Amino acid sequence: MKIPISTKLISVTILTVVASAAAITLISSEYFEKKAAEQIDIANLESAAGKAKEINNILTSFVDKSRVIGSVLLKNSNLDLGSTTNNVGGDNNALKDDLLFNFTKDKNFIAVEVLKIDGSSLETVARRVKDDFFTSYSLSGSYINQLRELQKFPIRSLALGNIEVKNSSYPKSPAMFTIGLPLVHDAQGKITHVVLAYIALSPLEKPFTEPSERTQFLVDRSGEVLAHKEESKAFARLDLSSSPFVKKALAQTSTQYQTKFLDTESSQQFFGAAVSASFGVRVISETSEATILEVSNEVKRRSIFVAGCAVSAAIFFIFLFSMTLTSPIEKLAELIKLVSKGNFEVKARDQVRSQDEVGDLAEAFDQMTAGLKERDKVKSLFSKFHGVAIAEDLINKDITVGGQSKEVVVFFSDIRGFTSFSENRSPEEVVEMLNEYFSVMVQLINAYGGVVDKFIGDAIMAVWGAPHGTVNDAKKAVRASLEMRKALEKLNQRRIARNHPPIHIGMGVHAGKAISGTIGSNERMEYTVIGNTVNTASRIEASTKAFGSDLLISESVIEKIGNNFLIELAGDAEVKGRSESIKMFKVRGYLAENGQYIEVKTAYSDYQAEGADKVKIKPTA
């Protein structure tokens, strides 16, 4: 299947660009994902640490304030401090005013109470509540007693000296959290009084409300949410103790912890970081892997888009480039077809003007065409002098002096009375007659596969079997001789019509071994066949005059042609150069395809026998 160069160029370009873009996209995406994951891990931890520090400041401030307010409440526990509307007088009023100032000036404080621990029982020693804060929720200050029981605040942990922070938000109640801390201990160091401060949740929520791709929240010791990016989860006191990452984070003894984990609910991978703040709370920061992949996928999409643009541009420019390359090559291909048909006059450089390697190719093409033209001229000359078969044989192999023995059929013909004809004619007339005669006879020799070896004056020497032979060479030679007999009759008719004398010829055919090849020297060579077979064929042709027949063949030819011709014995003759006589035969016709013999006889095929030099007919017994 033919694939155009332009298609190959475009295909290779597309594959190269796509492969490069794919490799770059893959490598850059993987590298980006790796670096992004590292950055997110770092950013998660840094962000969680920052939030933890902020929470520390907030909780520490509230703890300090709670301790001060609790101390004042305990000191003035003999005062009636049940509500902000109570009135007292004297020096006690000054103390109460100080308490009111410290308690009321901070809008985040909702209630503070001091509890006395007596064994397993608790006693409220003092309490300060902003009643109006609960009014909007249709609650009273007594809700504080219910809240402590409802949330099961770990008072025993306070008795051990710990500070506890718990979410106090419940449905249809204010969003609050509770700070519990030890207040008074006895001489033995045993905690006797603790403070519970009920504070609005908003200060803890504020650090987590900033817009971010991370999910950040605050949990207490038990994994219950204190503050969350989604406020509803904090208000609902969501328990995350079973969450894979929170569970691992709560179990850590170190202040910082980070890892990649699978979220069971969303079935997504997350990067998590946890940093411990004061009082047992921890800041959790989580970022989904999808966030990284989204950026990575955006990089991939952009890379694919850029690669698509590059491929499109490459296709366009490669197409233009391929046209400049393939167009002249296609022209050269068309010119090659013309040259293959024998047209060597084409000029490729006139049609291909590229100033590049294709232009060089066009110049080389013209040089090649000139060489082919010269070669064709040489071949044509060889063919005219030696025949097509010999010319091709000489061109296709190294020419050296020498030859090889071959089984050949040699033909000789001669014009009767040529010497006397030449004496009475001008050279021009003689040459004209010979050319006309040779044109007819050579055409028939070539038509039947023979090769004209040489012209010897008016004589023709032809060979079958050299340079290449077939099993039918003898049949072809005899059949060509019969056709020459008929052609001579037509030629003589034209000559007589021009008032020219008719031509009589003699033909002899002999078969045998001969040396076929080039003879001469390295400066001058001639392709021919030599040997006794050639000499005998010449003597047989000379014998036609003695037997009065235009065609004689030898017994060796009879053996090769079989019953395909109508043969008649002419007789035996002794010829010069041979010690033994030669039995010769006349050919009267040939066997047609229908099995009938066709006689070939003309006014010039038989004539009056006469003496012949170098030939002596043996008398019949």
Residues whose CB is less than 8 angstroms from the CB of residue 471 and which lie 6 or more positions away in sequence, other chains included: none
Cβ(219)–Cβ(281) below 8 Å: yes
Instruction: Indicate if 135 and 276 belong to the same structural domain.
Output: yes
Q: What is the DSSP letter of 505?
A: E
**Complete DSSP assignment for 403-420:** EEEEEEEEEEEEETTHHH
Q: In this model, does residue 94 exceed pLDDT 70? A: no
Cβ(349)–Cβ(359) below 8 Å: yes
Cβ(533)–Cβ(565) below 8 Å: no
Instruction: Indicate if 454 and 442 belong to the same structural domain.
Output: yes
Is residue 318 in some structural domain? no
> What mean pLDDT, rounded, does the chain reach?
84
Instruction: Indicate if 119 and 230 belong to the same structural domain.
Output: yes
Q: Which of 617, 466, 621, 601 is nearest to 544 (CA)?
A: 617
Q: In this model, does residue 44 exceed pLDDT 60? A: yes
Is residue 303 in some structural domain? no
Instruction: Indicate if 360 and 466 belong to the same structural domain.
Output: no
Name the band, by pLDDT with cuts 50, 70 and 90, for residue 172: confident
Is residue 325 in some structural domain? no
Is residue 332 in some structural domain? no
Name the band, by pLDDT with cuts 50, 70 and 90, for residue 331: confident
Instruction: Indicate if 379 and 457 belong to the same structural domain.
Output: no
Name the band, by pLDDT with cuts 50, 70 and 90, for residue 81: very low
Q: Which residue has the higher pLDDT, 343 or 197?
A: 197
Q: Which of 150, 163, 284 is nearest to 227 (CA)?
A: 284
Q: Which two tokens stand for residue 347?
A: 């000029």
What does the alpha-carbon distance between residue 192 and residue 438 come to, in Å, rounded to a whole number?
Answer: 150
For 272-322, the pLDDT digits (tens) are 999 999 899 999 998 888 776 776 677 777 777 877 787 788 777 777 777
Burial label for 383, CB within 10 Å (0-12, 13-18, 19+), is middle
Q: Which of 260, 264, 239 is nearest to 250 (CA)?
A: 239
Helix-, strand-, coil-residue percentages of the chain, each rounded to 5: 50, 25, 25
Instruction: Indicate if 402 and 377 belong to the same structural domain.
Output: no
Q: Indicate which CATH number applies to the domain containing 509.
A: 3.30.70.1230
SS3 of 197, please? strand
Q: Which of 112, 83, 110 is nearest to 96 (CA)?
A: 83
DSSP run (H or E) holding 447: helix 427-447
Instruction: State which residues form the domain around 571.
Output: 387-617
Q: Which of 126-135, 265-274, 347-356, 548-557 has the lowest mean pLDDT?
A: 347-356
Q: What is the mean pLDDT of residues 80-100?
A: 46
What does the alpha-carbon distance between residue 335 and residue 329 come to, in Å, rounded to a whole number?
Answer: 10
Is residue 333 in some structural domain? no
Instruction: Indicate if 216 and 349 belong to the same structural domain.
Output: no
Of 383, 411, 441, the residue at which a domain comes to its end is 383
Is residue 561 in some structural domain? yes
Q: What is the mean pLDDT of residues 227-249?
A: 89
Domain count for the chain, please give it: 3
Is residue 320 in some structural domain? no
Q: Which of 75-89, 358-372, 467-481, 554-568 has the lowest mean pLDDT?
A: 75-89
SS3 of 55, please? helix
Q: Which two tokens stand for residue 375?
A: 């070669």
Instruction: Indicate if 173 and 69 belong to the same structural domain.
Output: yes
For 367-418, the pLDDT digits (tens) are 888 777 777 776 666 555 555 555 565 555 555 556 788 999 999 999 988 8
- Cα separation of the two ends of the chain: 77
Instruction: Indicate if 45 and 92 belong to the same structural domain.
Output: yes
Is residue 300 in some structural domain? no
Instruction: Indicate if 354 and 494 belong to the same structural domain.
Output: no
Q: What is the mean pLDDT of residues 467-485?
A: 94
Of 322, 353, 383, the residue at which a domain comes to its end is 383
CA angle 513-516-522, nearest 5°? 150
Of 383, 399, 434, the residue at which a domain comes to its end is 383
Residues whose CB is less than 8 angstroms from the CB of residue 224 and which lie 6 or more positions away in sequence, other chains included: 166, 167, 237, 238, 239, 240, 241
Name the band, by pLDDT with cuts 50, 70 and 90, for residue 536: very high
Beta bridge partners of 194: 115, 182
Instruction: Indicate if 371 and 511 belong to the same structural domain.
Output: no
Instruction: Indicate if 434 and 558 belong to the same structural domain.
Output: yes
Q: In this model, does residue 87 exceed pLDDT 50? A: no
Q: Which two tokens stand for residue 433?
A: 């007659």
Q: Which of 398-412, 524-538, 550-564, 578-592 has the lowest mean pLDDT?
A: 398-412
What does the alpha-carbon distance between residue 330 and residue 335 come to, in Å, rounded to a whole number?
Answer: 9
